[in-house]
Amino acid sequence: MTTAKITAADIKTHGLSNDEYKKILEVLGREPNLVELGIFSVMWSEHCSYKSSKKWLKTLPTTAPWVICGPGENAGVIDIGEGLAAIFKMESHNHPSFIEPYQGAATGVGGILRDVFTMGARPIANMNALRFGSPDHPKTRHLVSGVVAGIAGYGNCVGVPTVGGEVNFHASYNGNILVNAMTVGLAKQDKIFYSAAAGAGNPVVYVGSKTGRDGIHGATMASAEFDANSEEKRPTVQVGDPFTEKLLIEACMELMATDAIQSIQDMGAAGLTSSSFEMASKGGMGVELEMEKVPQREEGMTPYEMMLSESQERMLIILKPGKEDIARAIFEKWELDFAVIGHLTTTGRMILKFHGEVVCDLPIDPLAQASPEYDRPWTPTRRQSILEAKDVKDVAWPEALKTLIGCPDLASRKWVYEQYDHMVMADTCQRPGGDAAVVRIHGSNRGLAISTDVTPRYVLADPLEGGKQAVAETWRNITAVGGRPLAITDNLNFGNPQKPEIMGQIVEAIKGIGEACKGLDYPVISGNVSLYNETDGNPIMPTPAIGGVGLIDNLDTMMTVPFKAEKEIILLAGQAGGGWLGQSLYLREICGQEKGAPPPVDLLHERRVGDFVRSMIHGKKLTACHDLSDGGLMVALAEMALSGDVGCELKNVAGHARLFGEDQGRYVLTVKTSDLAGVKAAATAANVALEEIGATGGTAIALNGASVALADLRKLHEGWFPGYMARPA
How far apart are CB 257 and another protein at their closest, in Å?
15
Q: Cβ of residue 297: shortest distance to another protein, in angstroms?
A: 7
Residue 104, phi then psi, degrees to nearest 5: -60, -50
* Residue 15: count of CB within 10 angstroms of its CB: 15
CB-nearest residue to Mg ion? 435
**Residue 137 annotated as catalytic:** no
Residue closer to Mg ion, measured from CB, 154 or 563: 563
Count how many Cα atoms sit within 13 Å of the Cα of residue 623 in the half-sphere of its side chain.
Answer: 22
Q: Which of 14, 93, 217, 343 is catalytic?
A: 93
269 binds another protein (CB under 8 A): no
Q: Residue 424 binds what, of Mg ion, another protein, ligand ADP, none (CB under 5 to 8 Å, by partner type)?
A: another protein
**Element at 253 (helix H, strand E):** helix 242-256
Smallest gap, in angstroms, from Cβ of residue 644 to another protein? 14
d(CA 694, CA 713): 19
Of 291 and 637, CB closest to Mg ion: 637
Task: Give bridge partners of residue 573 from the DSSP assignment.
Answer: 667, 690
On the 0-12 / 13-18 / 19+ scale of CB atoms within 10 A, 390 is exposed
H or E stretch covering 105: helix 101-117
Verify binding: residue 246, another protein, rule CB under 8 A.
Answer: yes
Spatial separation of the C-alpha atoms in residues 283 and 263, rounded to whole Å: 10
- Which residues in the 416-435 window bind ligand ADP by CB under 6 A? 416-417, 420, 432-435
Among 23, 89, 213, 468, binds another protein (CB under 8 A): 213
473 near another protein, judged by CB under 8 A: no
Q: By C-beta, is 178 or 551 nearer to ligand ADP?
A: 178
Q: Which residues bind Mg ion (CB under 5 A)?
A: 435, 477, 627
* 568 contributes a contact to ligand ADP by CB under 6 A: no
Of residues 216 and 480, the one with the C-beta less far from Mg ion: 480
Helix, strand or coil, per DSSP, at residue 656: helix
User: Rule CB under 6 A: is residue 543 a binding residue for ligand ADP?
Assistant: no
| Spatial separation of the C-alpha atoms in residues 451 and 474, rounded to whole Å | 5
Q: Total residues contacting ligand ADP (rule CB under 6 A)?
A: 20
Residue 428: which of ligand ADP, Mg ion, another protein, none does it interact with, CB under 5 to 8 A by kind? another protein
CA distance to 36, 76, 201, 284, 665, per residue, from 322 (Å): 32, 30, 11, 22, 57
Q: Which of 47, 170, 217, 626 is catalytic?
A: 47
Q: Which does 165 bind (CB under 5 to 8 A by kind): another protein, ligand ADP, Mg ion, none?
A: ligand ADP
Separation of alpha carbons 681 and 663, rounded Å: 24
Tell me: does residue 421 bind another protein (CB under 8 A): yes
**Contact partner, 711, from ligand ADP, Mg ion, another protein, none, Cβ < 5-8 Å per class:** none
Q: Which of 440, 457, 499, 656 binds another protein (CB under 8 A)?
A: 440
Instruction: Give Cα 609 to chain centroid, integer Å.
Output: 26
Residue 254 CB contacts under 8 Å (≥ 6 apart), including other chains:
330, 333, 334
The answer to the question of residue 192 lying near another protein (CB under 8 A) is no
* First and final C-alpha spacing in the chain: 55
Stretch that binds another protein, among 267-275, 421-429, 575-583, 590-598 (CB under 8 A): 421-429
Q: For residue 481, give the H/E element and its range.
A: none
Sequence-distant contacts of 470-473: CB under 8 A, at least 24 apart: 470/512, 470/513, 470/516, 470/544, 470/545, 470/546, 471/512, 471/513, 471/516, 471/517, 471/520, 471/522, 471/546, 471/548, 472/516, 472/520, 472/601, 472/603, 472/606, 472/664, 472/665, 473/546, 473/627, 473/629
Binding pattern to another protein, positions 152-191, x when CB under 8 A? xx--xxxx--------------------------------
Q: Which CB atom, from 199 or from 433, has the smaller least distance to ligand ADP?
A: 433
**Interaction of residue 670 with ligand ADP, rule CB under 6 A:** no
DSSP 8-state class, residue 376: -
Kindly indicate which of the ranges 73-81, 157-165, 302-310, 654-662 contains the residues binding ligand ADP, using the contact rule CB under 6 A.
157-165
d(CA 539, CA 240): 29
Q: Which of 118, 412, 428, 670: binder of another protein (CB under 8 A)?
A: 428
Selected binder of another protein within 84, 192, 424, 689 (CB under 8 A): 424
- In one letter, which amino acid is 652? N
Of these, 96, 146, 165, 600, which contacts ligand ADP (CB under 6 A)?
A: 165
Q: Given candidates 65, 201, 705, 728, which one binds another protein under the rule CB under 8 A?
A: 728
The 29-68 site mask, x for binding another protein (CB under 8 A), equals ----------------------------------------
- Under rule CB under 6 A, which residues in 459-478 are in contact with ligand ADP? 477
109 near ligand ADP, rule: CB under 6 A: no
CA 569 to chain CA mean position, Å: 37
Cβ atoms of 262 and 324 within 8 Å: the answer is no
**Would you call 157 helix, strand, or coil by DSSP?**
helix
- Residue 418 in the binding site for another protein (CB under 8 A): yes
- CB nearer Mg ion, residue 209 or residue 430: 430
- Residue whose C-alpha is closest to residue 427's, from 458, 405, 449: 449
Q: Is 166 in the site for ligand ADP (CB under 6 A)?
A: yes
- DSSP one-letter string for 263-299: EEEE--TTHHHHHHHHHHHHHT-EEEEEGGGS-BSST
Radius of gyration, CA atoms only, the chain = 26
The nearest distance, CB 702 to Mg ion, in angstroms, is 24
Query: Judged by CB, which is closer to ligand ADP: 453, or 568?
Result: 453
Residue 58, contacted partner among Mg ion, ligand ADP, another protein, none, CB below 5-8 A by kind: none
Q: Give the residue from 17, 6, 88, 76 showing the smallest Cα distance to 46.
A: 17
| Side-by-side strand order, sheet with 648-650 | 624-627, 667-671, 569-573, 690-696, 648-650, 700-703, 706-709
Is 442 a catalytic site residue? no
With b meaning 16 or more CB within 10 Å and e meaning fewer, what string describes 221-238? eebeebeeeeeebebeeb
Complex with ligand ADP: residue 162 or 274, whichever CB lies closer: 162
Q: Is 128 in the site for ligand ADP (CB under 6 A)?
A: yes
Find which of another protein, Mg ion, ligand ADP, none residue 128 binds, CB within 5 to 8 Å per kind: ligand ADP
Question: Which residues are marked as active site?
Answer: 47, 93
Binding site for ligand ADP (CB under 6 A): 128, 130, 162, 164-167, 413, 416-417, 420, 432-435, 437, 453, 477, 629-630
Interacting residues with another protein (CB under 8 A): 99-100, 102-103, 149, 152-153, 156-159, 209, 212-214, 231-234, 236-244, 246-247, 250, 297-298, 311-312, 334-335, 417-429, 431, 440, 445, 555, 728-729
